[in-house]
Structure 1
Amino acid sequence: MGPYQPKLDEYPRTKFGSQTQYCRFQYSWFEKFPWLKYSSSKDLIFCFSCFLFQKKSPINPSFTIDGFNNWKRVNDGVKCPLLIHVGGPTSSHSNSVKCVEDLMKVSGHIDNILNAQSLDEVQKNRLRLKTTIESIRWLSLQACAFRVLEKAPRNATYTSPTIQKEILHIFANKVRKKIREEIGDAKFCILVDEAKDISNKEQMSIILRFVDCLGILRERFFDIVNVPNTTASTLNKSISDVLSRHNLNVTNMRGQGYDGASNMSSAWNGLQALFLRECPYAYYIHCFAHRLQLALVGASTKEISVWLFFSKLSTIINLIGCSSKWHSELHFIQTIEIDRMITSDERDTSKGMNQIVLWKNDRLVLYVEKHVVV
């Protein structure tokens, strides 16, 4: 029996016929006909299922609109109005009962369906996000360009460049935290260099050199900072901000390694002089890598073939860069060459490949497939 069945101490009596005969509703009928709904205010019964779900106008409105109270006919065998209302398995009443059963199923409730779909979508999004994180981590280690998930929803924000950069930022913070734990309270040296990137922004890289708790000499790339200019005071402030942000005291600095430019190596107003004022033990050493680069540049100028290559390359860059017409001609020729190589199966094709970008930020750059030719 459904929870909507009222049980009264005594149901009202109804007189039938000219004889003194009284009948009343019986609570036991709920067991045989669980779809009944008794109205105590009207002393009538209705079909709860048909009242809710009968779409067409009922042929016999007794159990849906008017109500039924002819109690003496309920036990009239096959002529019982309640049995007649039930009908066969395909009757309108049977269909309404099926609808009520479906409605009463907790698993079919709209909130449960939405929650189930929501949980399923949450699991899928978590899996996609984990895949995105692992992909970004692997691509970062390999220094490869990022690619978004092809099967992710188009409105998924975790595949956007903003979220990818945020994930990279989290990785960077974790790496810096680990490096900071390795340094502890030990003394350290800094290696600094700056250069313009392809977007013409001045970037300064900071490397920390120290001896860890196991007595092993370590060199860790710590941070890269965008600086407005390369004056000694600006670089000094940027480096000091990075060190203080990670609780690295400048007084623990025991060495500085820069190139030989005046803004870095000047004994009076250079970067090394500014740090020496704060910590007299932070001795400056001309960076060995820069000295090696200078030696290689000097040696290469003595090699005729190398000198000719770079001289012609500089001439080509200057020639193409000074004329938009020549730039367009080179672009046209390169497009024809790529088409020829694709036709002859010398070059693979797929999404994002065989793209050409010429002359970007004062640099001649040919982006072809996944390779860069300068």
Structure 2
Amino acid sequence: MSSEVEIVVDPGLQKLIEEYDVGVRDHIRKEYVAMGGVGSAHNEARIQFEGVKNQRQSVEYSFLSGKHEIKVAYRRRLTAILKVIRFLLLQGLLFRGHDESSTSFNRGNFLEFLKWYSSECQEVVAVVGMNAPGNNQMIAPKIQKQLVNACVVETTSAILADLGDRWSTLLLDKAHDCSVKEKMTIVIRYVNKYGEVIERFMAIVHVATTTAVCLKEAIDSLFAKYGLSVVRLRGQGYDGASNMSREFNSLKSLIMKENSYARYVHCFAHQLQLVFIVVVQVNQYVCDFMWIVGSIVDTSASSCKRADKLRQLEYDRIDKLLER
């Protein structure tokens, strides 16, 4: 029997008794005992090592499973919050509330809509609000701004991908808000691959002054940021202000120096306004009519009582006409 089965003397290389065939296990056990019990001790050590190894693998599996669950919860929380942000951005609604404390009855559009959305979806309610880790609820104003900026980047990337290398027209107008800063709105107009005329709002750029040079620098900076080129322009549309449309040293002329194909088109809405003003000034009847209408609006709009009185007088007048 000993000639058929080779016994390894080195304990580090000896196999477990269970690894031998059933018919030779008694012989192997006797040989291990004859060698001073080293084999048995080594066998016991091997068994303990395997137990520790299995325990470590169980701990690692539990750790990986917990880590995977954290990732799933984070992904669900982020997806739910992004859906709320996309809805508020699409509707142009404010995010913040006047009182966002836990005792407030109206914490603002973002928090209230997230609360409503989580109440309608069991998968979401389990990962947001009080069910989320205290340092990972993702509802802080700073986090909201970061996610909004991420949406802006993705939206702009989609617009640029749709634009591609097609010819386009640049549309500009000034704008200002409660911050009392001079700003410029930039819109790109182009024809997509389906032959549809598309107008996409690109950005609102703060400008220090409204000089043609300052506006041109702002456009160049924005085009460089998005990888656009003035050479690809085939049109530019502004109002009739002198800094925009005059023949020399205007924004129109500065762009046409780089690209003579970027033809200037006067804003149609502004043209209509100018025509309307001229017509009103020439026709005395129309001028008087507009003055009367303006006076009525100013008088009635300045007081709720006056507005109600005007509505009641008009209602009584129509009622008498119907009776006749």
TM-score (norm 2): 0.57
Question: CA 1:241–1:121 in 2, change beyond 3 Å: closer, same or farther?
Answer: same
Unaligned runs of 5+ in 1: 2-6, 13-26, 29-33, 38-47, 49-100, 317-374
Please list the CA deviations of residues 108-163 of structure 1 after superposition, one character each: whole Å capped at 9, or x if unmatched: 74x65554433322211110101111111121111122314451444226323333
**Cross-structure match for 1:133:** 82
What amino acid does structure 2 have at the position aligned with 1:269?
N
Preserved contact between residue 258 and residue 285 of structure 1 (Cα < 8 Å): yes
Deviation at 1:208, TM superposition (A): 1.2
Question: CA 1:202–1:308 in 2, change beyond 3 Å: closer, same or farther?
Answer: farther
Higher strand proportion, which one? 1
Unaligned runs of 5+ in 2: 1-15, 17-31, 96-109, 116-128, 281-285, 304-324
Deviation at 1:9, TM superposition (A): 4.5
Structure 2: how far apart are the matches of 1:253 and 1:118?
A: 51
2:192 corresponds to 1:192: no
Greater relative CO, 1 or 2 (CA 8 Å, sep 6+): 2
2:235 corresponds to 1:286: no
- Report how many residues are paired: 232
**Cross-structure match for 1:360:** none
Identity %: 33
Aligned match for 2:256, one of 248, 272, 276: 276
Please list the CA deviations of residues 293-316 of structure 1 after superposition, one character each: whole Å capped at 9, or x if unmatched: 667887999253445545897x99
**Cross-structure match for 1:96:** none
Aligned match for 2:71, one of 108, 122, 147: 122
What amino acid does structure 2 have at the position aligned with 1:274?
L
Question: CA 1:155–1:294 in 2, change beyond 3 Å: closer, same or farther?
Answer: farther
**Cross-structure match for 1:304:** 292
- Bigger mean CA deviation after superposition, 113-122 or 217-226: 113-122
Structure 1: how far apart are the matches of 2:138 and 2:234?
A: 43
Structure 2: how far apart are the matches of 1:311 and 1:262?
A: 36
Structure 1: how far apart are the matches of 2:299 and 2:168?
A: 41
Preserved contact between residue 256 and residue 272 of structure 1 (Cα < 8 Å): yes
Q: Secondary structure at the match of 2:260?
A: coil
What amino acid does structure 2 have at the position aligned with 1:135?
V
**Cross-structure match for 2:144:** 164
Preserved contact between residue 187 and residue 254 of structure 1 (Cα < 8 Å): yes
Q: Secondary structure at the match of 2:138?
A: helix
Question: CA 1:310–1:8 in 2, change beyond 3 Å: closer, same or farther?
Answer: farther
Structure 2: how far apart are the matches of 1:312 and 1:292?
A: 28
Deviation at 1:216, TM superposition (A): 2.8
**Cross-structure match for 1:183:** 163
Question: CA 1:116–1:197 in 2, change beyond 3 Å: closer, same or farther?
Answer: same
Deviation at 1:235, TM superposition (A): 0.9
CA RMSD of aligned residues (A): 4.2
Please list the CA deviations of residues 206-241 of structure 1 after superposition, one character each: whole Å capped at 9, or x if unmatched: 111222333332222222222222221111111122
What amino acid does structure 2 have at the position aligned with 1:173?
V
What amino acid does structure 1 have at the position aligned with 2:66?
Q
What amino acid does structure 2 have at the position aligned with 1:265?
S
Preserved contact between residue 195 and residue 203 of structure 1 (Cα < 8 Å): yes
Question: CA 1:125–1:310 in 2, change beyond 3 Å: closer, same or farther?
Answer: farther
Structure 2: how far apart are the matches of 1:165 and 1:293?
A: 38
Question: CA 1:305–1:271 in 2, change beyond 3 Å: closer, same or farther?
Answer: same
Structure 2: how far apart are the matches of 1:302 and 1:143?
A: 34
What amino acid does structure 2 have at the position aligned with 1:264?
M
